[in-house]
Structure 1
């Protein structure tokens, strides 16, 4: 499934189906994914980490083998659509977006967002510090 666009969910719009993904502040699935020792996430498939240094640099890590090539295409489509949004143009844009839309954590430079696609739940960690990895996109089996 190709993700055509990603939109921001807020109280004025509702989550829609189809070839879109919605970024939300409240996670509906993360607590269900703890392993028996209470650690996250037991259903992790893969993750991408990225940092900004004049442009976004991404590195991929596979945790489990994908059962179907189309699942990799679904992941790639989500990541490409995510980084095409103007809110993620650079680190300053990311920081402003996080302050206004993402869920704050106990660290004032770290935020969370969540999303899903047809086959995956997605945990997005956003870190606004420079000289650090700034985005972690973790793909979890539904």
Structure 2
């Protein structure tokens, strides 16, 4: 099973049984039943239980939006802490390849390696708050 439910196979104007909804979204039928008890709209009085495709899609999108964590330009998202964290000791490495920059640092709380892509044009702004070690890779060396 995927870690995230799929949206691309769900048809908005189709009604799905629990098993069909599970198959099209790539989760288990038990997950669909949990979602139904947690707020996913189902058609009342219908047997078998039917779920509209647009309701299923909207529910998955709303669950994703709740989990989304916005980070500031000088912070990272730590997958271990599941929170926005600063770089340990305010230091980060920056690799620039073909106009794209990738910041790498350690989490201040748990020491996990953090990374995040940023635009190269934002590096001066980031350098005001983080001690950056910038490494540029020449395009001709590839």
TM-score (norm 2): 0.25
Which protein is bigger by CA-based radius of gyration? 2
RCO higher in structure (CA 8 A, sep ≥6): 1
- The structure in which a higher percent of residues are strand is 1
